[in-house]
Structure 1
């Protein structure tokens, strides 16, 4: 081989290797559309869980990955705007928290990989074909099965046995199935518990006040707050009205009890964010979302607020207290 040919060959190989290294080392882009407000302490805890897990997998924000956060705050128009913005930026993966966030992003792209968190019914909503084989560009982590509604009403009757008229409060624009997803199992469990179920579709603090006031007009009223991003955003109003009208309320999120509600039973959502980091890692390394099965929750939390129970004149049984993961005194 002539000297000039040898130099050309070595030079070409060096350029190719350098180009490959640059491609491999390029900063990856992950978009995250969070369902709740940035100022919410639980939002911060979930983001921390994701970042810590992602960091352990070797992804350092602002070094080899750029994470762009957007916060829907339970407002549909804002969520849709942020979805368009994130898709337009063409990230490598988009992480969506809550059903409305996932729908907004899924309406914008069928090609960018999506990992969802806290979505109740991804199959019926058409996001995935099957939990085991999701197909398409979407996979992720569910939060509750529809049977959870039955567990909420059972919990309400255990902590406040006199609850005969059980209101179920939700926003029909944002709740899973427009409210029907969990309402079915609440209604199915009610007859055996000698309870009447009263659906309360609401969209504002004023409507929340009217609904809870109606429940509190006579003894025997109880409240189930449906898993719904809008209800999470409006929880200060729900908690305040439940206290003012002396209505015992069951919440699906830990922060429902820690913020002053009577009791909560639900998924440890921070754990879902921790687990989601592994899916994002695998997708960034080449795995297709279609090959990652949708996973269900494995950690649940029961939180009882004894301060609220005492204010309502409720004596919580020692048996129920013994099963609680956290007791607020």
Structure 2
């Protein structure tokens, strides 16, 4: 963040000098580093999930669950302008054969679009010869300095950018990316001493099941993600962790039984409706336990967080044993990746 705004400041000052408009009594230039100017910085995390692209078994076509969770981690200045933004998509598929037995390796690592990089293989099908991550980098750069309202007002054609600054560099559809950013802004909270903000994602399909005598087939995609802000010393000043847990159920004939148009809420968005409290040995809902875990991470480096005492993958630290009993490995991994991706 500091490098970005430092470069902006240098460019503005250089233009002023060239025009002969500089003065020893000039006011500070707008757009400089908000942290150094003691301005308010807000950090937020937002996501949008869909299973609409899942397919039924029909004829020679076998069933396949597909869950797409679009995630945005962003920071904003006091006027709501985007300072940093990172967008990624957790796209996971679970394929079945004609007997509704899973053919996908559910133990294999599932990578997000950003993590796949060139392996996502959009470039050969792109009319501008750019991979997904390259186009997303262009879109994110265009968002910097704009408010969410200005971003939502982008000129579109067939849900693709028609803005002259983007038509040659971004041809992907953008509605879900903008929706995730809008949620990130709605969820944003004030944070002090922010140096970098990053997004971390981890995906699992391990809890998916094949059809059996007792149960019909069901795919389950768990996408865990974090927006984490650190200070100049690498200590966490804010972290937000959430999980999009999406189940795609099939009937005996391999047809999807979910309402494909229904809103899919994350664990945080579900709140009490996630219904962990009745099964919790400490009587706390998932979002309550996650708030405690996030608070514990504040002021710690990622090394200190990864060094947490664990027992059966649950916190054994005296500060957490009475407030957090959920398993924490995927949450720590998401934060670790967010810190590594900070910008």
TM-score surpassing 0.5? no
Structure showing greater radius of gyration is 1
Aligning the two structures, in what range does the TM-score lie when normalised by the shorter sequence?
under 0.3
**Bigger proportion of residues as helix:** 1
**Bigger proportion of residues as strand:** 2
Q: TM-score, normalised by structure 2?
A: 0.26
Q: TM-score, normalised by structure 1?
A: 0.26
